[in-house]
Amino acid sequence: MGFPRWGFKEVRAKAMEHMQLLAAVYPAAKFIFLVRDPYDMYRSVKGKKFHANFPDPYFPVQVWNDNVRDFLNVSALRPTCKLVRYEDLCKISRQENTLLEEITSYLGIEITEKMYGELETKTDSSGTNQQLASAEIAAITRIVSETAGLIGYQIR
């Protein structure tokens, strides 16, 4: 289509397997592995209609845990895959842009004004009206307790 690069956002189980396939097909590809605090992620998904279609209410949390564990274990993709925490992405500003500099350097592109504009308008947090019951927090903790801390998330 005449663009020097393209990208897409995908949320799915077995993310690293898909990245390995894409890396084989597109050897010059680079990936951003974007993760969100598992408790906030669950709050966000539990308010969505599609949540009722999951085989188990905590299926998205298990997918999160499996994907993070796989990311940590698949060292072959490490040079072509950078982990970025959603919460850190939301903190980027013109005054605090170290992470944006890291991302653009990794991708081999320049920071643009449009990037700041997108970050200022697109960093909403869905699910803020959804509260987590203590049983939900306990269930999430059981699933993510071994992996969340490895990427800097606090276990509740």
Summarize pLDDT for 52-65 with one digit per residue, the tens.
Answer: 788 899 999 999 99
Domain ranges of the chain: 15-151
pLDDT tens-digit map of 115-139: 998 888 865 555 566 789 999 999 9
pTM of the model: 0.86
Phi-psi region of 130 (alpha: psi -120 to 50; beta: other; left: phi over 0): beta
Looking at residue 47, its amino acid is G
Kindly give, in sequence order, each residue whose CB lies less than 8 Å from that of residue 54, ignoring residues fewer than 6 positions away.
60
* Rounded-to-integer distance, Cα 71 and Cα 17, Å: 10
Size of the chain, expressed as the number of residues it contains: 156
Environment class of 147 (CB within 10 Å of its CB; exposed 0-12, middle 13-18, buried 19+): buried
Among 15-29, 81-95, 112-126, where is mean pLDDT lowest? 112-126
CB 127 within 8 A of CB 43: yes
